[in-house]
Homo-oligomer: A and B are copies of this chain.
């Protein structure tokens, strides 16, 4: 199967940008739905996002099987991506990470809500996923399809789910948008945590959040160009 080289390039940049912006460290991953086959998606093989190269991109079906067989070891948790794509046809890109400022919210079951217009996509609040409700005592990872399906279900129509004792997953309607969302979900978490110590927070209401989100979607390319410039060449 032949994939659009520009999409591959964007996906490699998405990996590098998420590392440069502190959303991922050695772990975490970002995928994009295959534009020519909605039943598959593109994701790197098992490499640190900051080191991902064009040749590391693999196309998986929604069950997490590589479309073309490969010797490359896959990410253990690729089922996060497949099962969300299966349940949410509107989702075109997914980021799973241990984005640091979001962890304290997940482990204290505190909802993430938009503190400013940049995080309008959080207007419905963050969803919450408790893995032990599904797996009992586990290694916390979404390493089987049924756990991916349970996570996808917990997400409902929201853009972000906090995974207790693990991390978070953010979804978007495009690769640029999901990178933007992953970066500003982290920023929002940091600011919400600080503001929480200062007083009662006046969050954006749902209408403000939706309107802000719509406007921001028209400005993402400005930030993308900045982020892309920072990581330099990918070859």
Contact = CB atoms under 8 A, between A and B. Distances in A.
A231 interface: no
A153 interface: no
Contacts of A50: 226, 229
A218 to B, nearest CB: 9
Contacts of A208: 132, 137-140, 165
A214 interface: yes
A107 interface: yes
B110 A225 contact: no
Nearest to A205: B137
Interface residues of A, number: 65
Given A137-B207, A167-B116, A226 B107 contact: no
A155 B165 CA distance: 25
Contact of A51 (B187, B201, B225): B225
Contacts of A215: 76, 139, 141, 143
B48 A223 contact: yes
A197 B193 contact: yes
A134 to B, nearest CB: 13
Interface stretch (A87-95, A96-104, A144-152): A96-104
Contact of A107 (B76, B104, B116): B116
Contacts of A132: 208
A199 B229 contact: no
B140 A229 contact: no
Given A107-B115, A164-B202, A202-B164, A26 B226 contact: yes
Interface of A: 25-27, 46-48, 50-51, 76, 98, 100-101, 103-105, 107-110, 114-118, 120, 132, 137-141, 143, 164-167, 187, 190-191, 193-205, 207-208, 211-212, 214-215, 219, 222-223, 225-227, 229
